[in-house]
Structure 1
Amino acid sequence: MDGQGQSGDQESERLKALRNFHFLQQKAVTTAVVGILEQIDSLDSVDSRSVSPGPSRNVLSEEHEPLDMSDGPGRIKSLAQMEPSTFHELVSWLTENTDLAKSKRRRGRLTPDEKVLIFLYITTRAASYRNAAELFNYSLETISTTFHQVLDALCVLCRHTVRIPSFEYSEKALGGKSEFWPYFKGCLGALDAVYIPISATSDQHPAWRNPKNVVSQNVLAACDFDMNFTYIFAGMEGSTQDSRVFLTAREKDNTFRLSSNCYFLADAGFSSKSRLLLIPYREVSYHPQGPQQPANHPANSRELFNIRHATLRSVIDRTLKLFRRRFRLLTTAREGFSIRTQVNLVFALAAVHNFINQRQGLDLDGEFEDEDDRDDDTWKTSPIVDDFDGNLMIRKRDMIAKELWEQSQRSTS
Structure 2
Amino acid sequence: MEEELDLSSLEPEDIDDDVLGVDFNIISIIRRHLEITTTLAAVTMLCIVAHALSILEMYWSDSSSDCLGAIDGTHVRVKVPRSDAPRFRGRKDWPTQNVFAACDFDMKFTYVLAGWEGTASDSRILKNALDRDDPLVIPQGKYYLGDAGFMLKSTVLTPYRGVRYHLKEYTRRGPQNARELFNHQHSSLRNVIERTFGVLKKRFPIIASGIEPHYDLETMTEIILACCILHNFLPSVDHDDSLLDEVDNEFNEREEHNVSSSQVREEDHRMGSSIRDAIADHMWRDYQNS
Distance 1:210 1:370 in 2: 23
* Residue of structure 1 in register with 2:208 after alignment: 331
Q: Secondary structure at the residue paired with 1:184?
A: helix
Q: Secondary structure at the residue paired with 1:189?
A: strand
* Residue of structure 2 in register with 1:405 after alignment: 284
Indicate if the aligned counterparts of 1:269 and 1:383 stay in contact, CA closer than 8 A: no
* Residue of structure 2 in register with 1:318 after alignment: 195
Indicate if the aligned counterparts of 1:287 and 1:295 stay in contact, CA closer than 8 A: no
| 1:116-150 alpha-carbon deviations (Å, 9 max, x no partner) | xxxxxxxxxxxxxxxxxxxxxxxxxxxxxxxxxxx
* 1:178 Cα deviation from its structure 2 partner: 3.4
Q: In structure 2, which of residues 71, 78, 100 is the aligned counterpart of residue 220 of structure 1? A: 100
Q: What is the alpha-carbon root mean square deviation over aligned residues?
A: 2.7
Distance 1:364 1:260 in 2: 37
Indicate if the aligned counterparts of 1:301 and 1:405 stay in contact, CA closer than 8 A: yes
Q: Does 1:190 align with 2:70?
A: yes
Q: In structure 2, which of residues 121, 134, 140 is the aligned counterpart of residue 260 of structure 1? A: 140
Indicate if the aligned counterparts of 1:183 and 1:404 stay in contact, CA closer than 8 A: no
Distance 1:295 1:374 in 2: 18
Q: Does 1:350 align with 2:236?
A: no
Q: Secondary structure at the residue paired with 1:254?
A: coil
| TM-score in terms of structure 1 length | 0.52
| 1:70-93 alpha-carbon deviations (Å, 9 max, x no partner) | xxxxxxxxxxxxxxxxxxxxxxxx
Indicate if the aligned counterparts of 2:68 and 2:104 stay in contact, CA closer than 8 A: yes
Distance 1:357 1:383 in 2: 38
Distance 1:347 1:289 in 2: 33
Indicate if the aligned counterparts of 2:115 and 2:221 stay in contact, CA closer than 8 A: yes
* Residue of structure 2 in register with 1:246 after alignment: 126
Equivalences for 1:70-109 in 2 at 5 Å? none
Letter of the structure 2 residue corresponding to residue 385 of structure 1? Q
Q: Which has the higher contact order (CA 8 A, sep 6+)?
A: 2
Distance 2:263 2:93 in 1: 26
Distance 2:182 2:68 in 1: 17
Distance 1:218 1:410 in 2: 43
Distance 1:236 1:230 in 2: 18
Change (3 A) 1:298 1:177: closer
What is the aligned-residue identity percentage?
33
Unmatched runs of 5 consecutive residues or more in structure 2: 1-53
Q: Does 1:286 align with 2:199?
A: no
Distance 2:191 2:167 in 1: 17
Q: How many residues align?
A: 232
* 1:286 Cα deviation from its structure 2 partner: 1.7
Unmatched runs of 5 consecutive residues or more in structure 1: 1-173
* Residue of structure 1 in register with 2:20 after alignment: none
Q: Secondary structure at the residue paired with 2:287?
A: helix
* 1:306 Cα deviation from its structure 2 partner: 0.1
* Residue of structure 1 in register with 2:17 after alignment: none
* Residue of structure 1 in register with 2:44 after alignment: none
